[in-house]
Structure 1
Amino acid sequence: MSRIGTAVRVAQVSLLALLALGGQAVAQAADAGPKVTDAHFTIAPGYLERADVPNSLMLLGPPPAAGSAALARDEEARRATLDLRGAERWKLATQDADLAFPKPAENFSCALGVPIDEANTPRLYGLMVKLLSDAGLSTYGVKNKYERTRPFAVHNEGTCTPDQEAILREDGSYPSGHTAAGWAWALALSEIAPDRSNELLARGIAFGQSRVVCDAHWQSDVDGGRIMGAATVARLHADPVFLADLNAARGEVEAARAKSLKPAQDCAAEAAALSQTK
């Protein structure tokens, strides 16, 4: 097992304890930055120092106000997903909700067309681990300022991840950290494999929409998350370590293609789930 894999697995064991405690107190003690309620974003160090992570307080406005057209749009988007609950798209959204590696790498393997794993693409795998932290942490300035209530709590419903609902109730809904990470992954992967950019960007969009399907986020939360994911990747282009990993990951993907390696996931089933609208 690689050093990245060992470190991530040890951190994931610790994450279970953090989630049991709500993660909040431990995350606050870990650094002097914003309070981080969801400990998924502190599993491993990112590329950026906390001071260099994009500041959502400077990039985003407030969430939609009560009675606004924007809030009506959020409610309309939520209602459009009601028929998906329990369907294959709901099940895929449940998989997308899992930020513990290797699941995120698996979730983007079909779109890339090759397996993303420690054995075949270790630099790419490590890049995704680090991006999770940088993109997720970029959302917390605004999360903490507005502490927006999530749709499942407003409507007294459940999500696709009942075990995470206690954490979600304490973690601001706006903007979506899951979406920020998913969009950052899609953008970076599109640079690594530009010939698969349409598939990868579509998967990144769907990854964010999974949060609406799950009833865990409002549409405007997802929209804001995409802004923060894009801001994070833009900032990382000034980071030499990220750029080196990006270049190394291109070589790994080329090598995997030369070996005709294919994802282990059922890509046809994933495509069918993604196409489901009711």
Structure 2
Amino acid sequence: MAVSLLLLAGVAQAQPAAPPAKPAPVSKFLSPGELDPATLLPPPPKDDMLAAVEGRAELHRLAAVRSPERLAQARHDDAVEEVTAITEIFGPAFSLERFPATARLFADLRNEDSVAAKQAKAFFKRERPFAADRALDVCDDAHDVRNSYPSGHATMGYAAAAVLANLMPGNAQIILARAADYAESRLYCGVHYRADVDASQVLANVMVVKLMAKPEFRAELDAARAELTAAHIAP
């Protein structure tokens, strides 16, 4: 018995240690409390409230009428949670690999929208619509069930579009239209309520307004503008 226990102890000691947990992302430009979800966003309706029931009914209607092409677009948008999902409307000419200052700006913006959305998700802890209705036809049910409000994808899309529209005002209409369509993909995928993406638009827009008031962010924005202007992409 003693030998067996020693062998088991040896096996236990031989197990590799778990990797250390990654530190939670923090904002580069905003101080804690500047985007307080408790005061910025209304609480989402509970699953049994009429607004939530109607929200799930809308997802069923969209699933019934979506074309194969729209479903494919929704799946694509689900897989691409970065600014390239918005800039793809410009084709290969707009490649962040060609524009390092612009790439830096949007990498930092991506961190900001991720921090903001995760903070709000952790505060509200709303369950995904498919948690309340397993009959929903979803693109991917691997998402964290309690991460529905607001949508991280939509927050990213609306934030990226707001900054892109500032850099390229002549293309603002198509940029913002693409962000709206990108957010709509969350509904066609059945992984968010409309209230989730509506809250994302509010969160993203307030965040960008606050970022625009920060000199450090403005410096990055100006560097990106100069870069794009030199390439005759921005005015």
- Scaled by the length of structure 1, the TM-score of the pair is 0.67
Q: How many residues were matched structurally? A: 214
Shift of 1:54: 1.2
User: Which residue matches 2:170?
Assistant: 195
Q: What percent of counterpart residues are identical?
A: 26
Asked if the contact 1:53–1:137 (Cα under 8 Å) also holds between the matched residues in 2, the reply is no
User: Which residue matches 1:271?
Assistant: none
- The AA in structure 2 aligned to 1:161 is D
1:83 and 2:59 are equivalent in the alignment: no
Matches of 1:111 and 1:227 in 2, distance apart?
23
User: Which residue matches 1:26?
Assistant: 21
Aligned with residue 92 of structure 1, among 73, 77, 98 = 73
Matches of 2:153 and 2:184 in 1, distance apart?
10
1:160 and 2:139 are equivalent in the alignment: yes
Matches of 1:56 and 1:238 in 2, distance apart?
19
Matches of 1:70 and 1:225 in 2, distance apart?
17
Matches of 1:77 and 1:158 in 2, distance apart?
12
Matches of 2:190 and 2:169 in 1, distance apart?
32
Matches of 1:47 and 1:115 in 2, distance apart?
29
Question: Where does the alignment leave 5 or more consecutive residues of structure 1 unmatched?
Answer: 1-20, 32-41, 259-278
Deviation per residue, 1:26-58 (Å, 9 max, x gap): 35xx24xxxxxxxxxx4xx65325616511111
Q: Which has the larger radius of gyration?
A: 2
Q: Could you say if the C-alpha distance between residues 206 and 129 of structure 1 is closer, same or farther in structure 2, counting changes exceeding 3 Å?
A: same
Shift of 1:121: 2.1
- Scaled by the length of structure 2, the TM-score of the pair is 0.78
Q: Could you say if the C-alpha distance between residues 51 and 93 of structure 1 is closer, same or farther in structure 2, counting changes exceeding 3 Å?
A: same
Matches of 2:86 and 2:27 in 1, distance apart?
19
Asked if the contact 2:130–2:190 (Cα under 8 Å) also holds between the matched residues in 1, the reply is yes
Question: Where does the alignment leave 5 or more consecutive residues of structure 2 unmatched?
Answer: 1-17
**Root-mean-square deviation (CA), in Å?**
2.7
Q: Could you say if the C-alpha distance between residues 252 and 112 of structure 1 is closer, same or farther in structure 2, counting changes exceeding 3 Å?
A: farther
